[in-house]
Amino acid sequence: MEKLLLLLDRYYEEMVSIRRYLHANPELSFQEVHTPQYIANFHREIGLEVREGVGGRGVVATLRGAKPGKTVALRADFDALPIQEENDIPYKSKVDGVMHACGHDGHTATLLILAKALYEMREEISGNIVFIHQFAEEVLPGGAKPMIEDGCLDGVDVIFGTHLWAPTPLGEIHVKSGAIMAAPDMFEVTIHGKGGHGAEPHNAIDSIVLGAQYVSQLQTIISRRISPLKQAVITVGQFEAGKAYNIISEKATLKGTVRTLDEEVRNQIEKELESLLKAICDGANATYEFKYTRGYPAVVNHPDETAFLADIAKAISEVNQVKECEPLMVGEDFAYYLQKVPGTFFITGAKHPDWETAYPHHHPKFNFDERAMLIAAKTMGLATLSYLENRK
C-alpha cells in the first residue's frame, strides 16, 4: 500500500501535465478521435494489454497481476462539452466552442497515472485490474451501455469510479449507499391551439396561456402527487411561442427535465406529466403532442462496496473528512456499470481552499484543484489493492 502512495506522489506532476494536455485538446461526445488514441498509446507504452474501439470509441486496458485473484474495474470518462472556455490559463482549450467543463480531463489523467503506478507493482498483485476509459458520458445514449455490451465488464467482480467535484472542498470524500445520482429524463410538449388577433382572444385558442398553465401546475405533481418522502425535480428550461406581440400564437413548445432517484416515482411522473397536459388541453379544445425521453438510470451504489471504499478513504493522509452525502440530482451513466456488477461511485472534493466560491460544472469558467486527482488516485488505488488482497 505504501509503495503505491509513494509512486503516485512521484508521478503527480506527470498527472497534472496529462490533464492539462487533455484540457487544451478537448473532443465532443461521439466525436472523440485523438483522445482515445492518446489513452491507448499511453497504456501500451507502460506495458498493458489494450483494446480499442470498445463499444464504439472506448478504450479498455488490462493489468494482469503475477498471482491469480479477483478482477477490479476502474472507470474514467473522457468527453468534453460544447462550451466556449472563459478561463485565462496557460492550458486553455485550443478548440473553439469546446471545453472540458466537467472534470473528465482530470478523471482520465487520474486513471492513466494510477495504471502506471500499479503496473510497476504487478509482481505483488493478486488478480487483474481493468481500466475502462469511456467516451460520450455527456450525451445520450452515452458510452457506458455500448461498452458493457462489447464486454468491458466481462469477468469483473467489482467496479469503482469517482467524480471530481468542484463545489466540494479539497480533502473531502463523499459517499452514499443507494442512489447517489438521479435519473435525468427529458420531456417535450407541443400545444396546438388556434391563432388569432390579440384583440379578439374569444375567437382563438391561446397556446401561450395553456402553456403557462401547464408550467405553473407542473410543480403540483411534485408537491401533491409524489410522496414528500421521495425526491424529484421537474424543470422547464425552454418555452417557445409566438412571432408578434399582437398575435395569439396557435402553437407553443416546451422542453424540460425530470430528475428522480426512484424508478416508481420516475414512472409516475411520466404518466402525470401527460395526464396534466391532456386535462389542460381538453378543457380548452386544444390538442397536444407529448414526448418523454428516458436518460440514464439513477446511480445506485452497493452498500458493502460503499462502506469498504469509505473505510479505505479514511486511511489516506490527504483526506480530512469522509462523509455520507445527500444525493445529487445530476445524471451519470456509471449507473449502467452498477446494474451489472457490485461497486460504488464516490465524490472527490476538488474546490481549492482559497476559492470563496467555485464555478459549477458545465460553466465556461469551470476549473478544479488538481490535487484532487492525487486524492482520487490514492483512494481508488488503495481500494483496488485492498480488495484484491482480501478477496483471493
Tell me the per-residue pLDDT of 85-123, one tens digit each, with 9 for 90 and over. Answer: 999 999 999 999 999 999 999 999 999 999 999 999 999
Is 30 exposed, middle or buried (CB count within 10 Å of its CB: 0-12, 13-18, 19+)?
middle
Say if domain 183-293 classifies as CATH 3.30.70.360: yes
Beta bridge partners of 224: none
Q: What is the mean pLDDT of residues 311-328?
A: 96
218 Cβ contact list (under 8 Å, min separation 6): 234, 236, 256, 273, 276
Of the residues 27, 85, 137, 272, which is catalytic? 137
Query: 163: annotated binding-site residue?
Result: yes
Q: Where are the beta strands (DSSP E) in 87-205?
A: 126-134, 158-169, 172-175, 178-181, 183-192, 196-197
Query: Domain coordinates of the chain in residue numbers?
Result: 2-181+298-390, 183-293
Instruction: Please report how the helices 12-24 and 371-390 are oriented relative to each other, as an axis angle in degrees rounded to 10.
Output: 120
Give pLDDT, residue 125. Answer: 96
pLDDT more than 70, % of the chain = 100
Give pLDDT, residue 390. Answer: 86
Please spell the DSSP secondary structure of 174-208, one letter per residue. Answer: EE-SEEEE-EEEEEEEEEE-B-EETT-GGGSB-HH
Name the DSSP letter for residue 222.
I
Of the residues 27, 77, 79, 250, which is catalytic? 79
User: With bands split at pLDDT 50, 70 and 90, how would you rate the model's confidence at 279?
Assistant: very high
pLDDT tens readout for residues 140-198: 999 999 999 999 999 999 999 999 999 999 999 999 999 999 999 999 999 999 999 99
Instruction: Report the alpha-carbon distance of residue 286 to residue 281 in Å, rounded.
Output: 5
357 Cβ contact list (under 8 Å, min separation 6): none
- Helix (H) or strand (E) run with residue 347 in it: strand 343-351
* Shared fold status for 2-181+298-390 and 183-293: no
Answer yes or no: 96 catalytic. Answer: no
> CB-hemisphere CA count at 13 Å for 120?
15
Query: 23: annotated binding-site residue?
Result: no
Q: What CATH superfamily is the domain 2-181+298-390? A: Zn peptidases (3.40.630.10)
389 by DSSP, 3-state: which? helix
Query: 192: annotated binding-site residue?
Result: no
Instruction: Please report how the helices 207-220 and 263-282 are oriented relative to each other, as an axis angle in degrees rounded to 10.
Output: 150
> What percent of the chain is helix, strand and coil (3-state, nearest 5)?
35, 30, 35
Closest to 53 (Cα-Cα) out of 153, 160, 146, 155: 146
For residue 15, the Cα-to-chain-centroid distance in whole angstroms is 21
- Helix (H) or strand (E) run with residue 212 in it: helix 207-220
Answer yes or no: 79 catalytic. Answer: yes
Say if CB 299 and CB 334 are below 8 A apart: yes
305 by DSSP, 3-state: which? helix
Sheet holding 287-293, edge to edge: 232-241, 251-260, 183-192, 287-293
pTM of the complete model = 0.95
Q: Is the model's pLDDT at 357 over the cut of 90?
A: no
- Conformational region of residue 285, where left means phi above 0, alpha means psi within -120 to 50, and beta covers everything else: left
Query: 174: annotated binding-site residue?
Result: no
Beta bridge partners of 198: none
Query: 104: annotated binding-site residue?
Result: yes
User: With bands split at pLDDT 50, 70 and 90, how would you rate the model's confidence at 392?
Assistant: low
Q: Is the model's pLDDT at 249 over the cut of 80?
A: yes
Say if CB 208 and CB 263 are below 8 A apart: no
Q: Which residues of 197-208 are buried (b: 16+ CB within 10 A; e: fewer)?
A: eeeeeeebbbbb
